[in-house]
Structure formats: structure tokens, C-alpha cells
Amino acid sequence: MKKFDWSGVLPLGISQRQGPKVLITGLTAGLLVNCIYLLRYASAYGDLFRWVNGKRVYVGGIIPTFRQLLDRGLYGCWMAMLAMLPLAWYYWRSHYWGSKSIYTMRRLPDGSQLRRRCLTIPLLGAAVFFLEAMILWQLDFLLYWFFTPEASLPSVHWMALWSLW
């Protein structure tokens, strides 16, 4: 399989490893911060059960709403999206450092080359991190919906899903 050539979308002088590294770092941050939700859900789910004579018995109760459990679970994705703004600025400023490749970029017949090299990775990253947030949001809700006993779901769980935004 042929590797993608990142050199056309990264500023001159920036390592080709930085493009995928930025995306992987942001995706990892989103997944790690989402563990907040998983830990909160596991704790709330565990409170619905008690150990009686060595067996786990359902004792009931109402689990907190999805919104309360998710709380800051998607902040990693949002922070990764916001981190794309200074990255775009860094890419633009990198043309002025060292060999001053800005002069090369300005002489190119294609005037959009500078914008493409400065904005492609940040815009791609923001889109990928937004998509990650939406996927995690849905997966978290499916976990909440399918694994919580129906008697323990709050009466407004569907409203809690959409009132998140």
C-alpha cells in the first residue's frame, strides 16, 4: 500500500511525520478524556447492584441522566479542535523562520499554495475531531441505553440526549 505524501499539505521545512502525529494525538486525547464518562457510568451502574451471599443482585434505583454522566467526556475532542487554531498560526509563521520560505511561496504561480499548506491539516483535524466527538457521543449514549436496566433509566433520558447541546 502506498503511503500518503504529506509534503504537499505541510509547510516547507516541516517534517512529514507531523501531519499524522497531530491527528493521532488529537484522536488519542479525545478517547482518553472520554474515559471520564466510562468511569462515571461504571460507578453509577455499580450502584444499582449489591452483593448478597456472594451473588450480585439488582436492587434498583434511578441512574443519573446521560447528560450528568457525560459531563466533560467530550472535552478532549473540543480541545483538540481548538488546538487547530494555534497550529494554523504556527504553520503560517513557520514560513518566516529559517530559510524564509515565504519568498518561495509568494513567487509560486498558484496563489492558494500558502493557504493550502497552512490550513489543510488544521481544517482536516478539526473535522476529524468533530466527527470523533459525534461518534463518541452516540457510542456513549448506546452504552447508556442498552446496558442500563430499563427500570433504572430516568423518565427523561431521550430529552437528556438532545438537551446536551
Residue 78's alpha-carbon distances to 48, 95, 146, 161, in angstroms, are: 32, 27, 26, 18
> Is 72 a member of any domain?
yes
Least confident of 3-12, 42-51, 145-154: 3-12
Number of H helices, E strands in the chain: 7, 2
Task: Give residue 4's pLDDT.
Answer: 77
The answer to the question of residue 107 being in a domain is yes
* Domain region containing 89: 16-46+53-162
Domain assignment present for 10: no
DSSP E strand stretches across 24-124: 49-52, 55-58
C-alpha distances out from residue 93 to 11, 15, 105, 132, 155, Å: 10, 15, 13, 28, 53
Mean pLDDT computed over every residue of the chain:
86
| pTM of the full structure | 0.84
At 58, phi and psi to the nearest 5? -75, 125
Q: Distance (Å, rounded) from C-alpha 66 to C-alpha 145?
A: 9
Domain total in the chain: 1
Say what the pLDDT of residue 144 is: 92
Provide the percentage of residues in the chain whose pLDDT is more than 70. Answer: 88
Instruction: Flag whether 8 is in a domain.
Output: no
Task: Assess if residue 37 is contained within a domain.
Answer: yes
Contacts of 70 by beta carbon, 8 Å cutoff, 6+ apart: 37, 137, 140, 164
DSSP 100: T
Asked if residue 95 belongs to a domain, the reply is yes
Q: Considering the domain boundaries, does residue 2 fall inside one? A: no
Q: Cβ(87)–Cβ(129) under 8 Å?
A: no
How far is 125 from 28, CA to CA, in rounded Å?
12
Dihedral Cα 118, 17, 99, 86, nearest 10 deg: 40
Q: Are 63 and 126 in contact (CB under 8 A)?
A: no
Q: Distance between CA atoms of 129 and 6, rounded to whole angstroms?
A: 19
Asked if residue 9 belongs to a domain, the reply is: no
pLDDT tier at 132 (50, 70, 90 boundaries)?
very high
